[in-house]
């Protein structure tokens, strides 16, 4: 089994590509003509998205290899009102060792870590301390998350305070009203200010796509945020009634592809909210591979915003090793 999985890992897109430092997206001037020309054929996008789950064909050792790759792309997240320092420390311990050592040994895999740990501002210092000695970045949600309706000056200050506290990445939320009213200049200016406040920390722009009304709005908002310098575009806060979906993902991914074709900058993508099953992760990975290529299967360009996803992936890996499904309590998140 070890030899088979090693072969699968080194002959599919799940293999680690050489990490080439990419130039950071510096953005561009707002091009309103480009924004106005953006279209989204909703029926065609939905038809294409509907075919994706049925086209997933990785099985057995190849599936295990893809799931191991998915673990390295998870922003392991806790954003609950009852978060405690103890919970965050336990979550960070899970990020450092997301899969039991006996399963890794049986699969012949090296130690894995998650892509990042994502927390509220008050938990940044706890997470930084708990992850000391690793390369796991700490991401913080900011700018009045999840609604983004606090005073603008406070939202900017919140970013600055999170960066000062040690956050490597900032997940900001845009003002949905700018999209819904077509005020693209206001959205661009807001995003540009947030990007500048982040300094060296990378910024993920959360579009809250479930509240934007149409896929055309999703496409236009994606483009404007990238023009303003977003390092990642992200679907959702996880608090909306509709979060990450395949049609929305396809729309945002194609906006990323168009932006790279025009500017040369590679921008990352993060689906978040509602992705809780290993089979869903495989669909998203296949979508990224087909639409953007293998380079977007690395954590500097793709993340899952999730928590329960990791538990199901670990359960599937145990099934691959033992042939039996285990109880959920064998794979605690924290």
Q: Give the pLDDT score at 334.
A: 59
- Beta-carbon neighbour count of residue 277 at 10 Å? 14
CA dist., res. 236 & res. 269, Å (int): 11
User: Which of 281, 287, 290 minimizes the C-alpha distance to 310?
Assistant: 281
Under 8 Å between Cβ of 92 and 117: yes
Beta-ladder partners of 74: 304
Residue 123 belongs to some domain of the structure: yes
Tokens 């359960």 sit on residue: 315
- Set 192, 204, 270, 280: catalytic member: 270
Is residue 280 annotated as a catalytic residue, yes or no?
Answer: no
Q: Give the pLDDT score at 8.
A: 44
Q: Give the pLDDT score at 96.
A: 97
Residue 115 belongs to some domain of the structure: yes
Q: Give the pLDDT score at 9.
A: 46
- Set 75, 94, 168, 171: catalytic member: 171
Residue 18 belongs to some domain of the structure: no
Q: Give the pLDDT score at 19.
A: 55
User: Which domain covers residue 166, as residue numbers?
Assistant: 2-9+27-330
- Total count of domains within the chain: 1
Residue 17 belongs to some domain of the structure: no
Residue 45 belongs to some domain of the structure: yes
Residue 332 class from Cβ within 10 Å (0-12 exposed, 13-18 middle, 19+ buried)? exposed
Spans in the chain with pLDDT lower than 50: 1-14, 16-18
pLDDT tens digits, one per residue of 16-63 = 444 568 999 999 999 999 999 999 999 999 999 999 887 767 788 999
Residue 105 belongs to some domain of the structure: yes
Q: Give the pLDDT score at 172.
A: 98
CB-based burial, 48-71: b 16+ in 10 Å, e otherwise? ebeebeeebebeebbbbbbbbbbb
**CATH code: domain of residue 40:** 3.20.20.70
pTM tops 0.85, yes or no: yes
| Cα 144 off chain centre by | 19
Q: Give the pLDDT score at 86.
A: 97
Q: Is the bond preceding residue 325 a cis peptide, omega within 30 degrees?
A: no
Residue 75 belongs to some domain of the structure: yes
Residue 15 belongs to some domain of the structure: no
Is residue 234 annotated as a catalytic residue, yes or no?
Answer: yes
pLDDT tens digits, one per residue of 71-91 = 999 999 999 999 999 999 999
Is residue 270 annotated as a catalytic residue, yes or no?
Answer: yes
User: Which of 132, 90, 136, 129 minimizes the C-alpha distance to 111?
Assistant: 136
């Amino acid at each position: 089994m070890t030899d088979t999985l090693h072969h699968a890992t080194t002959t599919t897109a799940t293999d680690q590509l050489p990490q080439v430092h990419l130039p950071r997206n510096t953005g561009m001037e707002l091009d309103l003509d480009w924004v106005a020309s953006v279209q989204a054929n909703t029926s065609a996008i939905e038809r294409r998205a509907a075919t994706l789950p049925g086209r997933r064909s990785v099985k057995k050792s190849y599936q295990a290899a893809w799931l191991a790759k998915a673990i390295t792309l998870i922003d392991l997240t806790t954003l609950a009102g009852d978060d405690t320092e103890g919970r965050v420390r336990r979550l960070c311990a899970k990020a450092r060792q997301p899969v039991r050592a006996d399963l890794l040994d049986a699969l012949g895999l090296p130690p894995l870590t998650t892509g990042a740990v994502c927390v509220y501002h008050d938990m940044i210092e706890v997470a930084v301390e708990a992850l000391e000695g690793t390369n796991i970045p700490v991401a913080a949600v900011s700018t009045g998350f999840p609604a983004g309706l606090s005073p603008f000056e406070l939202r900017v200050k919140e970013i600055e305070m999170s960066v000062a506290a040690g956050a490597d990445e900032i997940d900001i939320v845009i003002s949905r009203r700018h999209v819904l009213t077509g005020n693209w200049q206001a959205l661009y200016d807001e995003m540009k200010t947030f990007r500048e406040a982040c300094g060296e920390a990378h910024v993920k722009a959360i579009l809250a796509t479930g509240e934007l009304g149409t896929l055309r709005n999703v496409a236009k908002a994606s483009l404007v945020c990238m023009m303003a310098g977003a390092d990642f575009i992200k679907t959702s806060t996880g608090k909306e009634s509709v979060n990450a979906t395949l049609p929305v993902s396809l729309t945002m991914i194609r906006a990323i592809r168009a932006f790279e074709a025009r500017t040369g900058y590679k921008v990352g993508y993060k689906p978040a909210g509602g992705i809780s099953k290993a089979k869903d992760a495989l669909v998203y990975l296949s979508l990224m591979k087909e639409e953007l290529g293998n380079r977007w299967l690395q954590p500097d360009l793709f993340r899952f915003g999730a928590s329960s996803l990791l538990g199901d992936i670990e359960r599937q890996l145990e099934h691959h090793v033992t042939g039996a499904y285990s109880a959920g309590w064998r794979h605690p998140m924290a």
